[in-house]
Every structure is written in C-alpha cells, then in structure tokens.
Amino acid sequence: SRAAITVDRDFTVGPVPRRLFGSFVEHMGRCVYSGIFEPGHPAADENGYRTDVLELVNELGVSVVRYPGGNFVSGYDWEDGIGPVESRPRRLDGAWHTVETNAFGLHEFACWATKANVEIMEAVNLGTRGVDAARRLVEYANHPGGTYLSDLRKKNGAADPFGIKLWCLGNEMDGPWQIGHKTAHEYGRLAQEAGKAMRLVDPSIELVASGSSNRGMPTFGAWEQTVLEHTYDVVDYVSLHAYYEETGGDTASFLASGVDMDLFIEGVIATADAVRAKGRHRKHINLSFDEWNVWYQSTREGDDQPTTIEARGGWHEHPRIIEDEYDVTDAVVVGTLLNSLLRHGDRVAIANQAQLVNVIAPIRAEANGPAWRQSVFWPFARMSELARGEILRLSTTADRVETAKYGDADVVDASATWDEASGRIAFFLANRGLDEAADVTVTLRGLTAGRVTRAEVLHAPDGADRFATNNEQNQHRVRLAPLTDVATEHETLRVALPPLSWAV
C-alpha cells in the first residue's frame, strides 16, 4: 500500500505540550505497592522506592503523573495517608475491593515524584466528599506555613509546600460504577464550588473538570455541556478517558482506534467551544486526556486476575488485577493513539497513559523480582524523547482500510514535529496493514530533507507473530530495531514500513 504526506514548515499546530507525556499512578492492584514502592526489594532505595522502576520511568520520559486515582479517589480520605505510618488506618477500598494499608500517601508520592522528576497531578475526592476536604487538601499541600494544616504538613516532614499546580475535580463522575456517581447538574455545581474554594486557598492552581468516561457513554456531549455551563469560569480543562481493545477478532477496527480518539477529541472541543460561544466567554477550555490506553476490559478481565471480592475469596492487600500483557498489535495501536493526541496538541494540553506500572502499564515489575518494558513502552518513550518544537500539520493521501466500527481509515497513520533549534524533524508512523508493507513518501515544503539521523521500527520479531509479548522470562522480545528502508533526497523522505508496524 501507499501513502503520500506533505508538511510545510510554516503550517504548524502549535508547540508540543510536554504534559502530553503524562502517566497515572492509582492505588489499584500492584501499581503503587510492589510497582513503584516496595521496601525490602533488592533495588529499593532508603525510602522503599524501586530504583529499577525509577530508571524505566525516566527512560519512558514521563512528564506528569496523576494520583491517587481513578475510581479509588472517589472513596479516599486523603488524611488517611499522612502522619506516622504506624498510626495510619487500614481501610476497605470499595472501588477495587482491596484492603488499603495507607503505607503510601501524599508525602510518599511527592517524594517519589521528585525522584522521578515528574510533575504531580492530584485528584480530589468528589464522590464521598466535597468542598471542604478539597480546599483543606490544597492548603495542606500548597500553603507555605503558619496555619494548622500547613504546619501539620511541616510536622509530618515536609517543610516546603509541595506546590501542586494541577488538580482534577473528581474522577469519572458520569459513570454509574463510580462511588458517589452524580448527574451532570449535581456534579457541575459541586465542581464549581469545590474549584472556587480551592482557588481561594491557592489562586495559582489549574483545574480539570471531570468529563465523559468514554465516547460511548449515553450522556456524552450533554455531560460536558452541562458541567462546563456550571464550571466554565473556574476550570481550565475538561477531561476525557478512553480504553481500546480488540473484540470479536476485529483487528482492523482495533487498529483504527485512533479514529475514535480523533472523533472524541473533536467532539469535546466542539462542545466546549459551543459553551464558550453561548456564555460569551473569552477563554478557551482545553482538554486533559487523563486516562487512555489499550485495556482488555471486556475480553480478558476476571479470569486469572479476578476483580470481585467473591471471586478473589475475600479482601486482600494490593492483589494482582488487570495486568494486561501487551503484544505487537497493542504497541502499534498505542502509537496511533499518541499520534492522535499529538495532532491535537493545540487543544489537548495534558494526557496520561493509564497506568504507569503493572496495572495496564508500559512497565511491569514483580515483587522481589525484575522490572521490564512492555511492547507499548516503545512508542511512548520515543515520542516523548523526539517530539520537540512545533507540531506540524499533515496533509495525507493514503490507501484506505475498511473497518466495521469506524468506516474507512488511512492505512498509514502519522504525526510529526519540527524543532528549529536542533534542525530536526521527527515522524511517527504506523502501518495498519496486517499483511502488506506501506511505501510512504513525505514531501517537505520549506525544509530540506538533509540526512536521516535515526530510524527505528517496532514490528513482529523474527520467527514470531503479532501476538509476541515481553514477559518476566523473555523481557526483550518486542523492541525497536533499526529501520533500514529509509532515504532522503532534496525535499523528499521515503520510508518503507513493514506490515503492522510502528516507526520513528
């Protein structure tokens, strides 16, 4: 198959938002416990943080991490996670049917975030709690001192404020599964008042209103409209969440998941801008895609890693749940989801792959064992490293693949950046064709092709198929290999992409 792409150095979308390379640490399964935190592990540092995992987080190039949930946050009392560890309460977490020990809390996360060199994105509980708990958390975290809560933080070991700028007003409040689920009107009012009270404590914070849990929610569109009508003046962003999986052997639709993400993003932009017009507002509300990934939610869940109390035989501390093992196809899809986010980088200001370690994650870690990279690690790591400067607008003409769910889709999916400072262009390309290689011709207007400094590809490894994965025994099976069929000539770049591949 074939694809022709044209870029022009003057046709840009905007600067690459660094917060697009965010991730998510929830108190869920083994993301925190034996993921980022495992005192006693051979690689643990003096605080119990796994340095092998920290090294992989650094290599992944994560910029911002959302915490502590997720569904977990909607039943969480943040005060349980502060103060002397031995006096912290053990609690039932209803969201994941788990015993939460509270051995890890805000101080432990803030210290980890400093070591990982990531910004914190803190979510407040608007499920079981509200305005008061949210404003108190902002005061505890961000006020310099001289008040009960800020002095309590000092007493608990943090002399300096955590200085958390980015705050989520609840999580997936449109979802009937959410503890404290609300109607759009109920949530909109609560988010408005909580946000207002939080800003009265620290006017410098940025706020994310909780949007739809996915594009298929019955309330999608109407939810955003009502919530933003209430909160427009107080919030900066509205959130989006989406998880994709292959169902019923429909690989073509799965590979076109990025089309759904495009539609979702463009739908939320349209809705936010309609509220802006109707309310005669000046500012724009931008988008925070603060949960996205591949997740075999309907097809694999519940077999070897049960999520109900009954199936698990009672309540346990940090059980193994939704530890999806990702293959080559999943990595190609993740590459296309990253392309969708980057192409919309003028409005999608924040994005968080869910989650960081073990739980539907690019990094896996075993208790008292190794940590390794899943297949989906690679597109994220390379895009975070190489997407620099300005996002380029693409004009693409490509052969089309038919899909049952999304109609026709381009066989080649792409995004690109141009960094004037280094003189480097980066292309991120996916071939959705299962059997055919794709010849891609890129015309560079206003730019000279120069030379190819680096070209890598991820596809089925020799002797394996698209279902190949990395695991504890075989940690490096799916990885990047040099892409050799690539050449430049004057204003043209030619690339041959192997069947079902992601390349940079």
In the bound state with ligand AHR, the residue whose beta carbon lies nearer, of 69 and 75, is: 69
Binding-site member from 38, 93, 119, 291 for ligand AHR (CB under 6 A): 291
Name the burial class of residue 204, with classes exposed (0-12), middle (13-18) and buried (19+) by CB atoms within 10 angstroms of its CB: exposed
Instruction: State yes or no: is 172 an active-site residue.
Output: yes
Whether the Cβ atoms of residue 252 and residue 401 lie closer than 8 Å to each other? yes
Site string for ligand AHR, 166-195 (x = CB under 6 A): -----xx-----------------------
Q: Which ranges of 21-83 would DSSP assign to H, the alpha helix?
A: 51-60
Site string for ligand AHR, 39-68 (x = CB under 6 A): ------------------------------
122 touching ligand AHR, by CB under 6 A: no
Binding-site member from 29, 69, 75, 195 for ligand AHR (CB under 6 A): 69
Sign, CA dihedral 107-112-115-121, equals negative
Site for ligand AHR in 412-441 (CB under 6 A): none
Q: How near is the Cβ of 486 to ligand AHR at its closest, in Å?
A: 36
Q: Coil, strand or helix: which one is 276?
A: helix
Site for ligand AHR in 353-372 (CB under 6 A): 354-355
Q: How near is the Cβ of 494 to ligand AHR at its closest, in Å?
A: 40
Binding-site member from 7, 25, 26, 224 for ligand AHR (CB under 6 A): 26
CA trace torsion 196, 201, 207, 209 (10° rounding): -40
The stretch among 69-77, 156-164, 310-318, 389-397 that binds ligand AHR (CB under 6 A) is: 69-77
Whether the Cβ atoms of residue 202 and residue 241 lie closer than 8 Å to each other? no
The residue of the chain with the least Cβ separation from ligand AHR equals 70
442 closest CA partner among 401, 376, 397: 397
Q: Which residue has the tokens 């706020």?
A: 207
Q: How near is the Cβ of 245 to ligand AHR at its closest, in Å?
A: 13
Q: How near is the Cβ of 291 to ligand AHR at its closest, in Å?
A: 6
Site for ligand AHR in 207-266 (CB under 6 A): none
Which of 172, 224, 245, 246 is catalytic? The answer is 172
Q: Is the peptide bond before 81 cis (omega within 30 degrees of 0)?
A: no
Q: Concatenate the DSSP letters of all residues of 431-496 into one string.
A: E--SS--EEEEEEEETS--------EEE-PPTT--TT-B--SS-TTSS--EE--SEEEETTEEEEE
Q: How near is the Cβ of 31 to ligand AHR at its closest, in Å?
A: 9
Q: Which residue has the tokens 């915490």?
A: 67
Instruction: State yes or no: is 323 an active-site residue.
Output: no
Q: How near is the Cβ of 354 to ligand AHR at its closest, in Å?
A: 4
Specify the DSSP class assigned to residue 188.
Answer: H
Whether the Cβ atoms of residue 238 and residue 188 lie closer than 8 Å to each other? no
Positions marked catalytic: 172, 291
Question: Would you tell me which residues interact with ligand AHR (CB under 6 A)?
Answer: 26, 28, 69-71, 171-172, 291, 354-355
